[in-house]
Amino acid sequence: MRAEALDVTGRVDILINNAAIGTFGATAAIPEADFDACYALNVKAPFYLVGALAPAMVARGRGVIVNVTTMVASFGTAGSAVYASSKAALNHLTKCWAAKFGPQGIRVNAVAPGPTLTENAKAAFGEDGLTKMMRQAPARRVATPDEIAETIAYLASDQASFIHGAILPADGGRTAT
């Protein structure tokens, strides 16, 4: 994987870990295979991607890693134990990697979106369900995918050059309430 990325681009400037499986349900009802799949994609994949690609960034003395987590990683919600804990693990990895790679010129941060109007979220919760989730947020609305992408782009940009180890909520203020 590392060799392929370097063969195509010649270098690695930015890594965005933006894949997830949303495994939801009662703890006793989650099959072990679903638990394992969630942790494999949400924790293990970013862990090994960083392990594979960070050395090339370190060699250049420059790079950015942005992990995409979730607002529910910072508070408990019924039925989200597997998904939320996997993203909480990614939040912690973000801080560990920031401490490890920051002195070597690599910035590592995360974006923690709230409900976002994506096709997957609409299929899982419906637009009404997403809207209900955000009634407690000061913004009183669901995010657009573009708003989350702009937050990621900001953290990847030089404008965020002094931000290291942050978990930036992009949740319409939901975690502020």
- Which residues are known catalytic residues? 83
At residue 175, the pLDDT reads: 87
At residue 80, the pLDDT reads: 87
Instruction: Give the domain extent around 138.
Output: 1-170
Question: Could you tell me the pLDDT band of residue 130, with boundaries at 50, 70 and 90?
Answer: confident
Is 24 within the bounds of a domain?
A: yes
Is 28 within the bounds of a domain?
A: yes
Which one has a higher pLDDT value, 137 or 57?
Answer: 57
Is 69 within the bounds of a domain?
A: yes
Query: Mean pLDDT over residues 101-123, rounded?
Result: 90
Is 176 within the bounds of a domain?
A: no
Q: What is the mean pLDDT of the chain?
A: 90
d(CA 148, CA 145): 5
Question: Could you tell me the pLDDT band of residue 7, with boundaries at 50, 70 and 90?
Answer: low
- The answer to whether 93 and 47 are in contact (CB under 8 A) is yes
Question: Could you tell me the pLDDT band of residue 1, with boundaries at 50, 70 and 90?
Answer: low
User: Phi/psi zone of residue 92: left (φ > 0), alpha (ψ -120 to 50 degrees), beta?
Assistant: alpha
Is 177 within the bounds of a domain?
A: no
Is 147 within the bounds of a domain?
A: yes
pLDDT digits (tens, 9 = 90+) for 14-42: 999 998 988 888 999 999 999 999 999 99
Query: Mean pLDDT over residues 98-114, rounded?
Result: 97
- Give the chain's domain count: 1
Tally the C-alpha atoms within 13 A of residue 161's C-alpha that lie toward its C-beta.
4
Is 175 within the bounds of a domain?
A: no
pLDDT digits (tens, 9 = 90+) for 157-168: 999 999 999 999
Query: Rounded to 5 degrees, what are φ and ψ at 11?
Result: -165, 165
**Domain with 24 in it: what CATH number?**
3.40.50.720
Kindly state the percentage of the chain with pLDDT values over 70. Answer: 95
Question: Could you tell me the pLDDT band of residue 128, with boundaries at 50, 70 and 90?
Answer: confident
pTM for the model: 0.91
Is 99 within the bounds of a domain?
A: yes
pLDDT digits (tens, 9 = 90+) for 36-51: 999 999 999 999 999 9
The pLDDT of residue 65 is above 60: yes
Contacts of residue 20, Cβ cutoff 8 Å, sequence gap at least 6: 41, 42, 68, 70, 83, 87
